[in-house]
Chains A and B, each alone.
With several copies, the nearest count.
Chain A
Amino acid sequence: MKILYFAWLRERVGKPEEEIALPSNVSTIADLMEWLAGRGEEYAYAFENRNVIRAAIDHVHVKADAPVGAAREIAFFPPMTGG
């Protein structure tokens, strides 16, 4: 599964995207953020304030309880600030 990071999330994680193998105990966006936060210092920093982080599954905005099982691409980003 492809995970994308934008803006300060990208800077904190230190990469724009990566491929992950979804663990079996991760079923929602909230689960995924929790799992990612446990992957190391940079992830813990990126995901320290999870309630401001927005997510999209396959280009569509979703809430934290959205199921992630069928996703091809999941993106995490701060609230969009407009152009």
Chain B
Amino acid sequence: MTVTIRLQQEDFDVGAENAVLARGHTDIGAIVTFTGICRDSEAGSDVSAMTLEHYPGMAEAEIARHVETAQARWPLLGVTVIHRYGRLVPGDNIMMVATASAHRQAAFAAAEFLMDYLKTQAPFWKLEERGRDKKWVDAKSSDDRATERWRKD
């Protein structure tokens, strides 16, 4: 089981990360990769840039905890989570998740589970720039509903 979790300022290469995940495995039949990209518009108005702040150490630990949950729930053969921090402009990669499994259903479900977590509860704070105006983004409740479907009681 290959688990890679990295928080970094620099960009990443989806193809290279997929190759690392698959290398030496002939039991992997499916890799699902999600790439999150900085858009030029959020909530209906133009965004010129965003800055992601994180809590080093805690961010990695929190993400690792959710990767473990995914591993316990689906028969995964590898997981990669890479999240950038710092200032990003529209078109820049923000983050990627890759999940590897024997079959596509587990890979898709685990990738969606991790994405719902990362987009809503992951240890990041987002500062959006609209021209000269900078504003910290509030936590979204619509995204919280997306994470609720994974909750087992």
| Contacts from A to B (Cβ < 8 Å) | 4, 6-8, 10, 56, 59-60, 75, 77-83
Asked if B31 lies at the interface with its beta carbon under 8 angstroms from chain A, I say no
Asked if B71 lies at the interface with its beta carbon under 8 angstroms from chain A, I say no
Report B-chain residues with C-beta under 8 Å of the C-beta of A8.
136
Report A-chain residues with C-beta under 8 Å of the C-beta of B123.
80
Say yes or no: A59 contacts B122, CB within 8 Å.
Answer: no
Range, interface on chain B: 20 to 34
Say yes or no: B55 contacts A75, CB within 8 Å.
Answer: yes
Q: List CB contacts (< 8 Å) of B31-58 with chain A.
A: 36, 52-53, 55, 57-58
Quick check: which of B9-17, B20-28, B72-80, B137-145 contacts chain A, the rest being far away?
Answer: B137-145
Per the bound structure, the CA–CA distance linking A83 and B122 in Å amounts to 7
Given contacts A82-B139, A83-B124, 20 further A-B contacts (CB under 8 A): A6-B53, A7-B53, A8-B136, A56-B58, A59-B55, A59-B57, A77-B125, A78-B139, A80-B121, A81-B124, A81-B136, A81-B138, A82-B118, A82-B119, A82-B120, A82-B122, A82-B124, A82-B140, A83-B94, A83-B122
Per the bound structure, the CA–CA distance linking A22 and B120 in Å amounts to 33
Report B-chain residues with C-beta under 8 Å of the C-beta of A77.
55, 125
